Amino acid sequence: MPNWIINFLARNTPSCKEVIQLISNSMEQPLSLQKRISLQFHFLICKWCSRYQKQLRFIRNILGRNPEKVGENAPGALSQETKERIKQALRPPK
Amino acid sequence: MVSERAINRKPNEAAPSSDPETWVEMHGDALYRFALLRLRDPKLAEDAVQETLLSALQARDRFLGQASERSWLIGILKHKVIDYFRKISRETLIEDAALFEEEMEGVFDENGHWKRDETGPCEWNADPEILLERKQFWIALYGCLSKLPPRMAHVFSLREIDGVSGEQVCEALNLSASNLWVLMHRARMQLRQCLEIHFFGRKKDKQ
């Protein structure tokens, strides 16, 4: 891509800092056409922001499809003592 | 004592037993980890597990076994956690923002652009199918979620792990839509960066 186009796009699209906020917003609610277009132009000249978007979508997909995996591999367990205490609380009062 | 098989039962198999004391053995740890990730405090998480099981005991007749016992209990726990956050409401918002600013210092240049390859996202060689099976990935992910400031972690888990809609999160936690977007943006940014450093093998440039 010729330099003048890159410079033109760099001046006329939002900064990376703004772009990544827009990327996140687009995962909450559809963006206006104008914002979508400025994102696409920014991606043309910025591989880092394109990667950023790809990676955020990747995180969303992998979590959304496997919500139980996060907890399964987490450290942490109830101590035997706590388990007994909870069981005690669950017994009907005498 | 519950047999080894019963403890290792997959969560999606409906359990025939609904004796509350076996719930503690079969689901106690899973509930605890679920609560700990969101509440961050072992004591609070233990209390949430106990309250969940007590509520479950009272509502036992309403459990008809369409869902697995585990997801039924998790459903109750989810509500307990939201109730807790509703109670403490706004207090932690400001603290979260300060923690985030600190974490992200120096990522952008004075024009708000990545400092090229120095701070810009690097290529992840990530095949989702392979990652899924890698325990190491999930451990890193859990570690990174645990490092998010509490409020961000909570909002993020509700949206991206529990699949709660944005409107519901705002309603439950008394947030405006723009508050929510800022929190989600920060959580995503920090989590992405943490995964890149701790799992995808990027060197931490600053320091």
Residues of chain B found within 8 Å of residue A46, distances taken between Cβ atoms: 113-114
Identify the closest residue of chain A to B25 by CA–CA distance: A83
Domain assignment present for residue B207? The answer is no
Same domain membership, residue B126 and residue B81: no
Q: Average pLDDT, stretch A23-49?
A: 95
pLDDT tens readout for residues B137-167 = 998 998 999 888 878 888 999 899 988 899 9
* pLDDT-based confidence at residue B77 (cuts at 50, 70, 90): very high
Here the CATH number for the domain that contains residue B162 is: 1.10.10.10
Question: Containing domain of residue B24, as a range?
Answer: 4-89
Give a yes or no: residue B96 inside a domain. Answer: no
> What CATH number has the domain bearing residue B33?
1.10.1740.10
Rounded Cα gap, residues B99 and B6, in angstroms: 43
Three-state secondary-structure class, residue B47: helix
Contact residues on chain A for B177, CB-CB shorter than 8 A: 28-29
Asked, for residue B98, whether it belongs to a domain, the answer is no
Count of domains for chain B: 2
* Alpha carbon distance B185, B189 (integer Å): 6
CB atoms within 10 A of CB B151: 26
Query: What are the chain A neighbours of B50 within 8 Å (beta carbons)?
Result: 85-86, 89
How close, in Å, is residue A28 to chain B by CA atoms? 7
Residue B11 has pLDDT above 70, yes or no: no
Q: What is the mean pLDDT of residues A47-75?
A: 89
With CA atoms as reference, the chain B residue closest to A21 would be B185
Residue B184 · residue B156 · CB < 8 Å: yes
Range from B6-10, B64-68, B108-112 carrying the lowest mean pLDDT:
B6-10
SS3 state at B185? helix
Q: Is the dihedral of CA B143, B146, B147, B153 positive or negative?
A: positive
Q: Where are the domains of chain A?
A: 3-74
Show the CA angle centred on residue B96, arms to residues B94 and B97, nearest 5°.
65
Looking at the fold, whether B36 and B108 belong to one and the same domain comes out as: no
Nearest by CB to residue B192, choosing from A55, A75, A83, is A55
Task: Sort out which chain A residues have CB atoms less than 8 A from B142's CB and list them.
Answer: 70, 73-75
